Structures are given as structure tokens and as C-alpha cells.
């Protein structure tokens, strides 16, 4: 069983094997956590992303971490919240699944996730955290991951994860 933890702060500082980016389909950068990761990783990151030719919603692709402490960045494209009946829950779950599959492929033991889709893309925090936790509980251990960090940038997100993880 993998350990699931809440950490507060900036995901670009996490010294884990892989951090996850909440990207868009272009993979060429943006605001929010995406912008922070590109700034911290350096210009090599956008060059590597360009080679990937984009990514579909609900999927994820890997690049090196370049100047980040993390060895890998898994760029996941979450759904834009559109009321919740347009497949958003399944798409969000699939982002987490794809990242854990990438973790298995790259022999990642520790991974940090941001709260994908809950910023600019507008996904409600509680339902998104439930999905993140459920998928990681189900799959992380089987993918060889020992530690999953839910890296929370704002206090409301941290409290949400802590409450849900405490409910077990
Ligand atoms: N470390 C950890 N979490 C962060 C950081 C950080 N440095 N900065 C923000 N967050 P968002 P989305 C949190 O908007 O909703 C971009 O333009 C933030 O508080 O980054 O998936 C992309 O290019 C929130 O909890 O991602 C896409 O176009 C969470 O990260 C679009 O935004 C996700 O917020 C993706 O939107």
C-alpha cells in the first residue's frame, strides 16, 4: 500500500521522483501550476514539450524535470468543469490513472500531484479531491509507488484533502 500524504506549498520545490503538471492540451505552458513548473524547470522544458505534439484531455505525457529537484514531470490535462455531466469525473480520474501508469513505466517511487483542474479549469475542490484519493488508493501501490504527495497550494485545498484522507 502506498502512503498518501498532504503537503502544503509549491510543487516545484518537491524533491520527489516525479511531479505532476496541470497542463493544457498544447503542453506549451500557461498560468497556475503550469506556469510555475515551466519557470522553475527552465526553457528546456518547453522544448521537450514541443516534441510531444500536445496531449488529449484526460491523458498525460512525461518529460524530464530539467532544473527541478524532481527527475520527471508528468503533464496531465484535466477537464474544464462544465457542470459535471459532460464526463468530467471520468476524465479527471483518468488523468490520475495515466500518471500512475507513467510512474510504473519510469519506476517512480514518489510522486507529487497538484489538485488538477481545480484552479483555472474550475472543478469543485471536494469532488476533485475524492477522485484523486480514490484512484491513488486503488492504483499507486500496484504501480510500484511508495509515496503519493497531494501538494496543496492553498489552505482550503489542504483542509479538504486532510478531511477526506482522515475519513479513510
Ligand atoms: N504548486 C502547487 N499547486 C499550485 C501551484 C504551485 N506552484 N500553483 C497553483 N497551484 P491550475 P487547472 C494549484 O489553475 O485548474 C494553466 O494555464 C492551484 O491553487 O494551475 O488544471 C494550464 O496551462 C490549484 O489548486 O490548473 C491550463 O490552461 C491547482 O494547482 C489550466 O491552467 C490547479 O490549478 C489548467 O487549469
Q: Where are the domains of the chain?
A: 3-166
Predicted confidence at residue 168, as pLDDT, reads: 60
In our burial notation (b when 16+ CB lie closer than 10 A, e otherwise), range 79-100 reads bebeeeeeebbebbbbbbbbbb
165: left (phi over 0), alpha (psi -120 to 50) or beta: alpha
Q: How far apart are CA 142 and CA 100, in angstroms?
A: 9
Catalytic-labelled residue, pool 34, 59, 146, 154: 34
Q: Is the CB of 149 under 6 A from ligand 1?
A: no
Q: How far apart are CA 61 and CA 84, in angstroms?
A: 25
- Which backbone phi and psi does 123 adopt, to 5 degrees? -70, 130
Q: Which residue's C-alpha comes closest to atom 21 of ligand 1? A: 117
* Calculated CA dihedral for residues 78, 83, 88, 89, nearest 10 degrees: 110
Predicted confidence at residue 167, as pLDDT, reads: 81
Q: Is the CB of 33 under 6 A from ligand 1?
A: yes
Is 17 catalytic? The answer is: no
Predicted confidence at residue 141, as pLDDT, reads: 98
Q: Is the CB of 160 under 6 A from ligand 1?
A: no
pLDDT less than 50: residues of the chain? none
Q: Is the CB of 115 under 6 A from ligand 1?
A: yes
Instruction: Give the CATH architecture of domain 3-166.
Output: 3-Layer(aba) Sandwich (3.40)
Q: Which residue's C-alpha comes closest to atom 12 of ligand 1? A: 117
How many angstroms separate the alpha carbon of residue 13 from the centre of ligand 1?
Answer: 15
Q: Is 8 helix (H, G, I), strand (E, B) or coil?
A: strand
Amino acid at each position: 500500500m502506498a502512503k498518501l500524504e498532504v503537503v502544503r506549498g509549491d510543487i516545484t520545490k518537491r524533491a520527489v521522483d516525479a511531479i505532476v503538471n496541470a497542463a493544457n492540451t498544447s503542453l506549451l505552458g500557461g498560468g497556475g501550476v503550469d506556469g510555475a513548473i515551466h519557470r522553475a524547470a527552465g526553457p528546456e522544458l518547453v522544448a521537450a514539450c514541443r516534441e510531444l505534439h500536445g496531449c488529449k484531455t484526460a491523458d498525460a505525457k512525461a518529460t524530464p524535470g530539467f532544473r527541478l529537484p524532481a527527475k520527471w514531470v508528468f503533464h496531465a490535462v484535466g477537464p474544464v468543469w462544465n457542470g459535471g455531466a459532460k464526463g468530467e469525473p471520468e476524465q479527471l480520474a483518468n488523468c490520475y490513472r495515466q500518471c500512475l501508469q507513467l510512474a510504473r513505466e519510469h519506476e517512480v517511487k514518489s510522486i507529487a500531484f497538484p489538485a488538477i483542474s481545480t484552479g483555472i479549469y474550475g472543478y469543485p475542490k471536494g469532488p476533485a479531491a475524492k477522485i484523486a484519493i480514490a484512484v491513488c488508493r486503488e492504483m499507486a501501490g500496484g504501480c510500484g509507488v511508495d509515496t503519493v504527495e497531494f501538494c496543496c497550494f492553498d489552505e482550503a485545498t489542504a483542509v479538504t484533502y486532510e478531511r477526506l484522507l482522515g475519513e479513510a
